[in-house]
Amino acid sequence: MPDDFERGKELQAAGNLDEAVVAYRQAIEVDPTSFRAWNNLGTTFEELHDFDQAVECYQQALEINPTQSIVHYNLAHALHRMGRVPEAFGQYVMAVDLNPQSFAAQFNLGLLLYDRMEWTGAEAAFRRTLEIAPDEFRVHQCLGDLLFDRRRMDEALPFYERAMELDPTNPEYAFNTGKCLRPLGQLDQARRMFERSLELNPNSQIAREHLLDVLLRQGRDQEATEVCELHLKKSPGDAVILHRLAAITGVNAPIRASDEYLQSTFDAFAGNFDATLSGLHYQAPQHLATLAGKCLPTASRQFDILDAGCGTGLCGVLFRPYAIRLVGLDLSGEMLRLAKERDIYDDLIQLELTSYMQNRHSAYDLIIASDTLNYFGSLSEVFRAAATALRADGRLIFTLEHNGGDTRDWSLQAHGRYCHSESYLHKSLGDSGFLVEASSIQILRLEASQPVWGWVVAARRPESLAILPRLQ
């Protein structure tokens, strides 16, 4: 008959965790100095998500034998899951010092440093992990991600390709290879990778979006149309693809992007949002902040500010010094989740922009909209809603994409955003009661290595403005 420790291991392996706890405790009663029993009791509690007791058990095991790398690793793992990152870091380092060949300790140390954006340390930890396990696809993937985020595309590509070789049925690895090939200008290869990712996961919205973008960059509009039409046969109500098809063909272009399109697109995009925009040299928030510095008093935390379409908070960070109260508004719950991590907003609200502002009479001194109104064709209703939400002498500071000489008031572009003419922009602001204080044309970001030009505008709601009726 197995002793209590061995019985505990059998019960734990079988998933009978409560019984395993009893067996390990009985083993400890027989031998209180058994660091193995304390360690295994800790792992059982961790499986039960009782991290406090798990930590106590690991600490007891280390009091008995502080030279055990595996126990330092287990303690680090529990602390990491509890969010006690500095303590976890120290225990991972101890585990690695005691056993430099510990794959788990080296890898998790790299993940922790990556999460802390300590890029040099994370890269070193991942590379050491690959020395231990050169064919571990997860490490190749993580090192590829780190290098990609640091815009070291040519270095990231071999790691993505190796991850895909090691796990060829993983759609994420094919997608990541494609997303790395794309900015390197290898569009044919990128297209094949996105097609492969979709073969493996036909429901991947982000892979389909990237495939469409590559096809459009190559001038293969008909193939892009066919991709949309094929998907709509299976999912006729897909708001994202309906919008993209209208943008590509120019048929049935809506006057603004639907809520479903925006929410779905930016929920899928949120995880890579900041890194992607950094690679595109995204400048819209900085342009708005520069313009605000010319139009507003010195930043002194005196304004109620609405960050309309706040995303992850890139613009909010720059406007926090002006705000006594800063509210972030977005349709994407995933974007708002990331914005919350910046800890700069007094409130974060998940609602549609126009309807929210229509019901917030004279609530704000300043509304900022960085690359938000690009998803509106007709601007009349959203400008009138902004006038309603602003106090007398309040300001709307925003960006819009330039239409490049198109004679139409507005048009839906193939990539899914709208652009506007100068005459229509000024007329819409005037009709909504705004006075244009300043406007200029600036480079908002790069796209396909080419500058995207846009309007950067500050408009003031004069004191005499009467609340305008809602358009019917």
- pLDDT of residue 173 exceeding 60, the answer is yes
Which of 181-190, 271-280, 283-292 is least confident?
271-280
- pLDDT of residue 1 exceeding 60, the answer is no
The pairs formed by 140-147 with CB atoms below 8 angstroms and a separation of 24 or more are 140/166, 141/172, 141/173, 141/176, 142/107, 142/110, 142/111, 142/114, 144/176, 144/180, 145/114, 145/176, 146/114, 146/119, 146/122, 147/123
Quote the crossing angle between the two packed helices 171-181 and 153-166, to the nearest 10°: 160
pLDDT of residue 331: 96
* Residues 6 or more apart in contact with residue 413 via CB below 8 angstroms: 247, 401, 419
- pLDDT of residue 357 exceeding 70, the answer is yes
Across 442-468, average pLDDT: 82
pLDDT band per the 50, 70, 90 thresholds, residue 89: very high
Distance from C-alpha of 162 to C-alpha of 172, rounded to nearest angstrom:
13
pLDDT tens column, 121-162: 999 999 999 999 999 999 999 999 999 988 899 999 999 999
CA distances from 138 to 111, 302, 457 (A): 11, 48, 46
SS (H, E, C) 301-321: CCEEEEEECCCCCHHHHHHHH
pLDDT of residue 315: 95
- 129 CB-side CA count, 13 A: 23
Across 427-435, average pLDDT: 96
Measure the CA angle with vertex 423, ends 418 and 427; round to 5°: 95
Higher pLDDT, 300 or 138: 138
pLDDT band per the 50, 70, 90 thresholds, residue 280: confident
Higher pLDDT, 53 or 205: 53
- pLDDT of residue 231 exceeding 90, the answer is yes
pLDDT of residue 406: 83
Higher pLDDT, 279 or 174: 174
* Residues 6 or more apart in contact with residue 159 via CB below 8 angstroms: 140, 141, 143, 144, 147
pLDDT of residue 2: 66
Rounded to two decimals, the pTM is 0.80
- pLDDT of residue 308 exceeding 60, the answer is yes
Token look-up 């005691």 returns: 98
Across 363-387, average pLDDT: 97
Domains of the chain: 273-460 (3.40.50.150)
